[in-house]
């Protein structure tokens, strides 16, 4: 399993920020289309794919189902479901690209798809054609579906 100590920073993303970032990604992707459909990488790519599908009026959505994370631990990716096309004219959507290992598996399944993520880290960034925000490799992106509302200590009190 992965090493949790590699994450030194936390980047919390609210539902509102995710919506704005997905809409910004949609603007960029609109210029590169038209698109036949979307292949979402589950589970993280489902919400961005839904927002992008709405913004670009795409009704045909499929999924590639991969499992590689257990909370902050990144392990070996397991393929649970693939698709029946090479991706020509399709968008491949995920929430983020981290190390690029899972992205490589997805890219191999649909090599002709245009790969887009909302967030990218330096190690995985070369795997995607389009993204909105880059964060450092040592940052854990806390997505709204993984978070709850609670008190958070000021940064000054949490730094060593």
DSSP H or E run through 109: helix 101-109
**Catalytic, out of 57, 62, 84, 95:** 95
**Catalytic, out of 70, 84, 98, 108:** 98
Fold of domain 4-158: Rossmann fold (3.40.50)
pLDDT score recorded for residue 149: 78
For residues 34-41, give the mean pLDDT: 97
Q: How confident is the model at residue 159 (pLDDT cuts 50, 70, 90)?
A: low
pTM of the model: 0.84
For residues 29-57, give the mean pLDDT: 96
**Catalytic, out of 3, 57, 94, 138:** 94
The verdict on whether 95 is a catalytic residue reads yes
pLDDT in tens, 45-89: 999 999 999 999 999 999 999 877 655 556 677 888 888 899 999
Give CA separation, 85 vs 91, 97, 148, in Å.
12, 22, 38
The verdict on whether 98 is a catalytic residue reads yes
List the chain domain ranges: 4-158
Cβ atoms of 19 and 145 closer than 8 Å:
no
């Amino acid at each position: 399993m992965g090493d949790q100590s590699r994450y030194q920073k936390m980047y919390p993303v609210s539902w509102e920020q995710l919506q704005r970032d997905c809409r910004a990604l949609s603007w960029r992707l609109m210029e590169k289309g038209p698109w036949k459909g979307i292949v979402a990488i589950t589970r993280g790519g489902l919400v961005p794919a839904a927002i992008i599908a709405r913004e670009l009026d795409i009704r045909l959505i499929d999924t590639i189902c991969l499992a590689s994370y257990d909370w902050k631990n990144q392990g070996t990716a397991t393929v649970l479901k693939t698709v029946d096309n090479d991706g020509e004219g399709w968008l491949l959507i995920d929430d983020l690209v981290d190390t690029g290992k899972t992205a490589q598996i997805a890219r191999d399944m649909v090599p002709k798809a245009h790969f887009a993520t909302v967030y990218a880290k330096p190690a995985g960034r070369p795997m995607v054609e389009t993204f909105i925000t880059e964060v450092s490799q040592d940052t854990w992106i806390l997505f709204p579906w993984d978070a709850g509302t609670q008190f958070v200590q000021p940064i000054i009190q949490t730094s060593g």
